[in-house]
Amino acid sequence: MNVTIENFLLIGSLLLFVSIIVGKTSYKFGVPTLILFLGVGMLAGSDGIGGIRFDNPKLAQFIGIVSLNFILFSGGLDTSLKAVKPVMREGILLSTLGVLLTAVSLGAFVYYVTDFTIYESMLLGSIVSSTDAAAVFSILRSKSLALKTNLRPTLELESGSNDPMAYVLTIAFLSLVVNQDQHLASLIPLFLQQMVFGAIAGFGFGKLSKIIINKIKLDFEGLYPVLVIALMFITFSATVFVGGNGFLAIYICAVYLGNQDLIHKKTILKMFDGLAWLMQIVLFLTLGLLVFPTEVFPYMGIGLLISVFLILVARPVGVFISLMFFKMKLRRRFYISWVGLRGAVPIVFATYPLLAGIEKADMIFNIVFFISVSSVLIQGTTLSVVAKWLHVAMPEKDKSVSELESFLSEGPKAAMKEIDISAGCFAANKMIVDLRFPKNAIIAMIKRNGVYITPNGGTVIQENDTLVVLSDTQEGLDAVNACLKPKELVSSEPEQ
């Protein structure tokens, strides 16, 4: 079936609708939405009932890169530095050294069991060396699985930050495969350049983006997410242009922005959450269409062998060596090893050999696809079982208390106060977003010249304003006072 301009929107919207409906059932059975989205794409493809022929790796790679921008950026915005700070070193080592060790150990195994050259083997190992955050947390949410101590932040940080390392390794070993006379040592400068430039650009664009978002005056609230999308793509493309790692840059930029006070931040976060889901569905559908099941079947045997080695040997090697200098119970290390799902990212990276035209590109792509699917099916459906078996899942009663506390924390505020802004007050003539307002308090309304207005982060507080402040606790109101009046005491109405 040939897709024309006339029926493109109809077919695309139908596939999107079917994917959402089918994906809804995945939570019931604990199967990641990845598998179902891929399945819908494969059924719609030329080997399936849809008969849509899609054989364009270049377009698939473009869609993959755009989608990964949204997925990584959304993940970065949702990353709390306060939550990941205690496990920052563990997460960084897992996403760098852990990925490298996984790639090397798996590459050595592939070289031993296949007729691949050593560089082709390392290329395959690099492509599948990173874990998929979307697949991991879709299952954790579907089973309402709460993990003890800092396991969840560790997995979140690793999953969100290990794609840049896998990308660098993939590009490096692909270069060695294409240029046979090139030496491995010559890639060290490339690696350092990618990571250092990417990190610097990410932090720099993050600070610049905060200034732009908070200082620019847009007439419509809905334009702020559009502005952030533009800044995201500028960060990625500019970093790639100067030779840095664009994926690392946008993740660092997003983490920085997600932990700052921004105008219309809630709108931005909700918008990116929806866009990330849309991009995941589009990405998985595209990759499903790109795959021809009849071409994957011949490699199921070798693919299963490599996948089992990855799950039982390569991934644990990377995890245990990376965490050997940290105090952590053995069962928690085993669980981190098990939560090493491969998802859409390796399949996207597998399009690079296809476009480079190397001899075994088709074989690599089909093996990588099978590894990703089998990894999700084997590990993804057993995450909650293994968590309970290793005693790293939170007991039901503790989980209930935790969920109740979370619910109450999001409920109505318990304390209210009206605060007058007098002449010379620190807060006067400043935007709310610049005040570093306490997280557990909000300015519900501002009374100005006898009229109540609803503020947002860009609202400028003026002299003689009366702020109606709500907070969880009395201590929260005290923090508000400290925030608003470091220069002089601000008179306030009696507590209500």
Instruction: Output the 3-class SS for 433-463.
Output: HHCCCCCCEEEEEEEECCEEECCCCCCEECC
Q: What is the mean pLDDT of residues 465-485?
A: 75
Please say if the pLDDT value at position 409 is more than 50. no
Q: Specify the DSSP element, H or E, that contains 484.
A: helix 474-484
The model's confidence at residue 304, banded by pLDDT at 50, 70 and 90, is very high
User: What interhelical angle do 5-29 and 133-142 show, nearest 10?
Assistant: 50
100 Cβ neighbours under 8 A, 6+ residues apart: 129, 165, 169, 318
Q: What is the mean pLDDT of residues 232-244?
A: 94
Report whether 440 contacts 476 (CB < 8 A).
yes
Please say if the pLDDT value at position 331 is more than 80. yes
Winning range, highest mean pLDDT, from 10-14, 97-101, 426-430, 479-483: 97-101
Choose between 113 and 48: higher pLDDT: 113
Q: What is the mean pLDDT of the chain?
A: 81
Closest to 463 measured CA to CA, from 448, 450, 453: 448
Please say if the pLDDT value at position 402 is more than 80. no
The conformation of residue 97, written as its DSSP 8-state character, comes to I
190 Cβ neighbours under 8 A, 6+ residues apart: 168, 171, 172, 175
Least confident of 24-33, 110-119, 250-259, 427-436: 24-33
Choose between 378 and 22: higher pLDDT: 378
Q: What is the location of CATH 1.20.1530.20 in the chain?
A: 5-402
Using DSSP, state whether 341 is helix, strand or coil: coil
- What percentage of residues in the chain have a pLDDT greater than 70? 84
The model's confidence at residue 394, banded by pLDDT at 50, 70 and 90, is low
Give per-residue burial for 247-259: e unless 16+ CB within 10 Å, then b: bbbbbbbbbbbbe
The model's confidence at residue 406, banded by pLDDT at 50, 70 and 90, is very low
> Edge-to-edge strand order for the sheet containing 441-448?
415-420, 466-471, 441-448, 451-453
Please say if the pLDDT value at position 5 is more than 60. no
User: What interhelical angle do 57-77 and 151-161 show, nearest 10?
Assistant: 140
pLDDT at 408: 41
The model's confidence at residue 237, banded by pLDDT at 50, 70 and 90, is very high
The residue type of 377 is L
pLDDT at 151: 82
Choose between 402 and 192: higher pLDDT: 192
Q: What is the mean pLDDT of residues 355-371?
A: 90
Q: What is the mean pLDDT of residues 138-153?
A: 66
pLDDT at 496: 39
- What percentage of residues in the chain have a pLDDT greater than 90? 28
Topology at the third CATH level for domain 413-484: Alpha-Beta Plaits (3.30.70)
Is 386 exposed, middle or buried (CB count within 10 Å of its CB: 0-12, 13-18, 19+)?
A: middle
Q: What is the mean pLDDT of residues 187-205?
A: 91
State how far the Cα of 128 lies from the Cα of 368, in Å rounded to an integer. 7
How many H helices and E strands in the chain?
24, 6
The model's confidence at residue 27, banded by pLDDT at 50, 70 and 90, is low
Q: What is the location of CATH 3.30.70.1450 in the chain?
A: 413-484
pLDDT digits (tens, 9 = 90+) for 249-293: 999 999 999 988 888 888 888 888 888 888 888 888 888 888 888
pLDDT at 407: 40
Topology at the third CATH level for domain 5-402: Na+/H+ antiporter like fold (1.20.1530)
Q: Specify the DSSP element, H or E, that contains 468.
A: strand 466-471
Please say if the pLDDT value at position 236 is more than 50. yes
Report whether 210 contacts 260 (CB < 8 A).
yes
Please say if the pLDDT value at position 387 is more than 80. yes
State how far the Cα of 111 lies from the Cα of 121, in Å rounded to an integer. 5
Closest to 42 measured CA to CA, from 18, 59, 24, 58: 18
Place of tokens 């619910």: 407
Place of tokens 């596939």: 15
pLDDT at 8: 66
Please say if the pLDDT value at position 13 is more than 50. yes
Report whether 246 contacts 228 (CB < 8 A).
no
Q: What tokens appear for 491 in the block?
A: 């008179």
Winning range, highest mean pLDDT, from 45-54, 374-383, 470-479: 374-383
Winning range, highest mean pLDDT, from 309-318, 351-360, 425-434: 309-318
State how far the Cα of 496 lies from the Cα of 491, in Å rounded to an integer. 15
Choose between 349 and 15: higher pLDDT: 349
Which neighbouring-strand residues pair with 443?
A: 469
pLDDT digits (tens, 9 = 90+) for 39-87: 777 777 766 676 777 778 888 889 889 988 998 898 888 888 888 888 8
- Look up the pTM and report it: 0.78
Give, in degrees to the nearest 5, the angle at Cα 429 between 426 and 433.
85
Going from the C-alpha of 154 to that of each of 87, 88, 143, the distances in angstroms are 6, 8, 19
Least confident of 100-104, 127-131, 160-164, 381-385: 381-385
State how far the Cα of 54 lies from the Cα of 12, in Å rounded to an integer. 13
Please say if the pLDDT value at position 348 is more than 50. yes
pLDDT at 337: 92
pLDDT at 487: 47
40 Cβ neighbours under 8 A, 6+ residues apart: 15, 18, 19, 22, 285, 288
Is 320 exposed, middle or buried (CB count within 10 Å of its CB: 0-12, 13-18, 19+)?
A: middle
pLDDT at 352: 92
The model's confidence at residue 314, banded by pLDDT at 50, 70 and 90, is very high
pLDDT at 485: 65
Give per-residue burial for 168-203: e unless 16+ CB within 10 Å, then b: bbbbbbbbbbeeeeeeeeebeeebeebbebbbbbbe
pLDDT at 126: 95
Going from the C-alpha of 305 to that of each of 38, 119, 300, 343, 374, the distances in angstroms are 22, 19, 9, 18, 11
Q: What is the mean pLDDT of residues 340-369?
A: 88
φ/ψ of 430, rounded to 5, equals -120, 150
